[in-house]
């Protein structure tokens, strides 16, 4: 696992928590921030996954 994968997954979890907190307190802005954090986290972790696959492919050569 690389840095981008870890940070991306943490950002996704943070987004889930923010979204849930926003729903509980009725704060639409916090909910939206949570959804944005989730998308950013998924994007970063997907980038990390791609880097990992590329590194694995290079090792096989």
Q: Where are the chain's structural domains?
A: 3-60
**Whether the model pTM is above 0.85:** yes
Please spell the DSSP secondary structure of 5-18, one letter per residue.
HHHHHHHHHHHHHH
Q: What pLDDT shows up at residue 61?
A: 85
pLDDT in tens, the chain (61 residues): 999 999 999 999 999 999 999 999 999 999 999 999 999 999 999 999 999 999 999 998 8
């Amino acid at each position: 696992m690389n840095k981008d994968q870890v940070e991306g997954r943490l950002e996704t979890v943070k987004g889930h928590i923010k979204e849930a907190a926003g729903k509980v307190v009725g704060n639409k802005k916090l909910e939206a921030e949570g959804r944005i954090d989730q998308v950013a986290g998924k994007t970063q972790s997907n980038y990390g996954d791609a880097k990992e696959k590329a590194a694995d492919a290079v090792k096989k050569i």
